[in-house]
A and B are shown apart, each in its own frame.
Chain A
Amino acid sequence: MNLSKINWKQLGINAGIPLVILIALILLPNYGWDYGVTLFSQFVVYIILTVSWVMFSGTTGYISLATAAFYGIGIYAAALFYPATGTILPLIVIVIIGAAVSFILAFIVGAITLRLRGIYFAMFTFGLVLLMYQVINYVETSIIGQRGRLVALESNEAVFYYLLGICVITLLVAYLIRKSKYGLALQSIGENEEAATHTGVNVTMVKILVFAISAAFMGAVGVITATKTTYVDAGTAFNPMISFSPALMAIFGGMGNIWGPAIGAVIFTYIQEILQTGSLKNYYMLIFGAILVATIMYLPNGLMGLIQNLWKRIKGAKSAPTRG
Chain B
Amino acid sequence: MFLKLIKHDILNSWKDFGLSYLLGLGLAVLLFISKIPGETNIIFSLFVSLLMLGLGLAVTIVSIRALIRLFYSSLYTQDPVLTWTQPVSSTWVLLSKVIVGFIWSLVSIVFIVALMAIFLLLVSQDTVEGLQMIYDMFSEYISVDPSVQIVYIVSFVASYCLQAATILLVGAIANSSWIRQHRNILAVAFFLIIYFTITNIISLVSRGGPIVISTFGSSIYVGLSNGLGSALLFYCGYIVLSAVLFLLGKLVIDHKLEIN
Verify that A and B bind, or say they do not: no
